A and B are shown apart, each in its own frame.
Chain A
Amino acid sequence: MAERPEDLNLPNAVITRIIKEALPDGVNISKEARSAISRAASVFVLYATSCANNFAMKGKRKTLNATDVLSAMEEMEFQRFVTPLKEALEAYRREQKGKKEASEQKKKDKDKDKKTDSEDQDKSRDEDNDEDEERLEEEEQNEEEEVDN
């Protein structure tokens, strides 16, 4: 899978949406301007990555973490981003924790399933539970797909 420079652009539809939501109603953007902003965003990510990597190397770490990126923002004079980014990070961590707990619960339920299958089959309540668990499984699979995105 060869990576051409064009592949490193962010999706135009998303960029356009972000721009439109940032600007007042009725304001339009030319194709050239939108494309330039998209490229600018890619350059921004590359530059931020490079700065963040410097911080990681200073800390003798090989993996970039969230703190490195926040430090990079300050270095790049984008301090105003730091607070909203910290809030977003908190929300992200809560969400990740929620997903982890949900998948652990699902695992426990699966183990529980194996035990109930070997028990009495006349209990209709178990059948209802199975249906609920199947639905839950489907929802979680959808969530997992998005994480893998």
Chain B
Amino acid sequence: MAAAAAAAAASGSGTPREEDGPAGEAAASQPPAPTTAPGARLSRLPLARVKALVKADPDVTLAGQEAIFILARAAELFVETIAKDAYCCAQQGKRKTLQRRDLDNAIEAVDEFAFLEGTLD
């Protein structure tokens, strides 16, 4: 009982985990990136996935290892930033769960997120 509670706490969510299978996301079948080694702490996002995104651009010939790493780190910072901005909207609505509309509001409100308009649908 205590072990189960500890496991639930460790997974980081009080709500039951939802599987992404039916949503059609292939990412669900990928194992999470290992974060046990001290070196991996510098970037939580797997560099291989970031590299795949970079290579998806037809104009890009090559990208250095450092560039990939910085892009991964920048993506993490971006996720933190947009999550916090969206949370401000949720707080105003006195809610404790971030909804999709909070994200849409943040994108409209913040100039830096303008590049996202129309891309998330």
Contact = CB atoms under 8 A, between A and B. Distances in A.
B5 interface: no
Interface of B: 12-15, 18, 20, 23-28, 30, 32-34, 37, 39-40, 42-50, 52-54, 56-57, 59-67, 69-71, 73-80, 82-84, 86-87, 90, 96-100, 102-103, 107, 111-113, 115-116, 119-120
B74 A149 contact: no
Q: Classify the interface of chain B: helix, strand, loop or mixed.
A: helix
Interface in A1-33: 3-4, 6-24, 26-33
Contacts of A48: 71, 74
Interface of A: 3-4, 6-24, 26-33, 35-50, 52-53, 57, 62-66, 68-70, 73, 76-78, 81, 84-85, 88-89, 91-93, 95-96, 99, 142-143, 146-147, 149
B112 A27 contact: no
Contacts of A18: 44, 76, 79-80, 83
A149 B47 contact: yes
B78 A78 contact: yes
Nearest to A73: B74
A95 B42 contact: yes
Contacts of B84: 22-23
Q: Classify the interface of chain A: helix, strand, loop or mixed.
A: helix
Contact of B56 (A13, A14, A21, A46): A46
**Which of A70, A78, A92 lies at the interface centre, i.e. has the most chain B CB atoms within 10 A of its CB?**
A92
A31 B43 CA distance: 24
B115 A35 contact: no
Closest 6 CB pairs of A and B: A22-B80, A13-B32, A64-B63, A66-B66, A32-B100, A63-B62
